[in-house]
Structure 1
Amino acid sequence: MRRIRYGIALATACSALLLAGCGGGGSRSDVLTSDAGSGAAAPAVASAASAEAQEQDASKQPRPERQDSGGLVSNVKLAQQDRQVIYTGSMTVRAKQVTAAVQQAKQIVTSAGGYLSKEETSSASDTEDTAMLEFKVPPDKYAEVLARLGKDLGKQLSMNQGTQDVTMRMADVNSRLKSAQQSLDSLRTLLKKADTIGQVLQVEREISTREADLESLQAQQKELATQVAMATLTLRLVGPVTEVQDPEEEPAGFLGGLKAGWTALVSFTKVALTVLGALVPWLVASLPLIALIIYLARRNRVRRPRVPAPPPGPGPGPGPEAA
């Protein structure tokens, strides 16, 4: 019995060793297989490692913050572009003495760095004088000049202000100007390489066209730069008793047409009376000459001899048929 037990135990131990050997061989083959395939999988592993490294580097960078609305706010600071704005304004002021107010307005604008570009004055009387002044004022002094003109010259009756943003327009003109200049330079280079007279003439015509376009763009650029550099302010000065009519207060519809018709009739009557008044002195001066002409015409008619009528002659004699 004891030998049988030892035999069973020995068989069991051998079976266990065989199973362990088979398992070890399988694991070894797996290891060998993995080692053999590691050379083919190396690029994929390297790419995966590089991708992981990039993700780690990206994770180290500051992440964008979230707004309350769920959107992302970029940390990049955008450079704010200078806006190109044209300022325009008009003002009506009632002054005690228009002539003195004109000189004072010129001094105010000149002291602010501006200048007078246009002037129209009308002198009917000391109380009915009017003046229209157009000033160019630096934009940074525009508000200050407006305040001084409305306060120092007299009573401000009306004021209108307007702005026009021409940033995109100026950028477009500058871009087109740059492209036109580059195209013109290319054509001039091509002109040097032209071989035949036909090519030369064709390139010269194209150069002339491009030069005209370039000059037009340069004029537009200069005009826009001038308008942006200086604000335009129109000042109207009126005397103490001058009537100032606001177009917005004029009645519309039937009453407006009636008023316009009456105004036209009055204007036509004034013009007709003015023409008649201008002709009356000439009519008075020419009356003696007209009377003399009429007198001489009647006198010649009275003295003209009458031609006597011819006496009636004998009737026609009887013809041969009557006989």
Structure 2
Amino acid sequence: MNPTTSRPTPKVRARATRLAVAGVLALSAVLTACSGGGADSGTSSADNGSAAGAVGADQGGGTADGAAVEPAASSPDADRQVIQTGDVRMTVKDPRAAADAVVALTEDAGGRVDDRSEHAATKDDVGTAELTLRLPADQVSAAVDGLRALGTIDQIDLKSEDVTGAAQDLDARIHALQLSVARMEDLLSRATSNEELIAAENALTERQGNLEQLQSERARLAEKVALSTIHVALYGPDLAPVEPVVEPTGPQSFLEGLATGWNALVDLAAGLAIVVGVLLPWLAFGGAVAALVVALVRWNRRRRGDRAVPVGPLAPAGVAPSASAPPAARPVDPDPDLHQPR
């Protein structure tokens, strides 16, 4: 029995041929796409490398032959916002001349003088000068070194205040308000009624006012950070001690002695007059009391004398005393020698 061999028909062979051609075309298309994507990627990578090199060159990261390098990482202190203030007290020979030198030093450093006051020296007080300096933050140390050459620094006090957080907060609020103002402007442009227009205008005006206020505050803060404030007080040398003048004591001539005696007499008379004026009411009161006491004493004595005299029967007038009455006693001569016969 002869084996039977099966052969494909012409239609089957044609279909297989078409499938083979389609597979080859698809494979070639895939390979073409992959090669094109790789080229595009390489081109993008090259472009990105060129852009990075340009940025590095702008930031000072390029080398002499143009090769791009990685930019240095920014330090944390680069974004710090610091306000510097200080007080300086100095002793100088001439406060006015030293003040002029301080002004020149400040202007050379790129700063300015906000306040300045001077007082000339007198016999009782030294000359003074006071200045308020606004110096760039990076020139404060150099300015202090320059002040040392003008005289003796008696006191120096420098302070720093970190306002980084406040500055960042203001920046964030300003950015948010700017976005809000932009949205309100868009709403205002798309308003279709008077009510919407008025509401949008009011809201936009309020946000713009707040934005301007924050921007002004941020500008003041930036100005304080950029320019440090230094108060400088200049004093002249101490005054020489004044020797006390010893004046002569006592009168130095006849007229001065006469004037001194007269003044002493006047002072004594004035003192006596004062004493008499003080004692006069007491003397009057004491005299009145003494007169009253004397009157009472006299009245008491008179009363006692009336009680001591004996009271007897009195004979009528013109009637002689009776014989039975005892004779009156003879008066006693107090000096019998005067009546003796010679």
**TM-score, reference length from structure 1:** 0.49
Q: If you compute each CA radius of gyration, which structure gives the higher value, 1 or 2? A: 2
Higher relative contact order (CA 8 A, sep 6+): 1
TM-score (norm 2): 0.46
Greater helix percent: which structure? 1
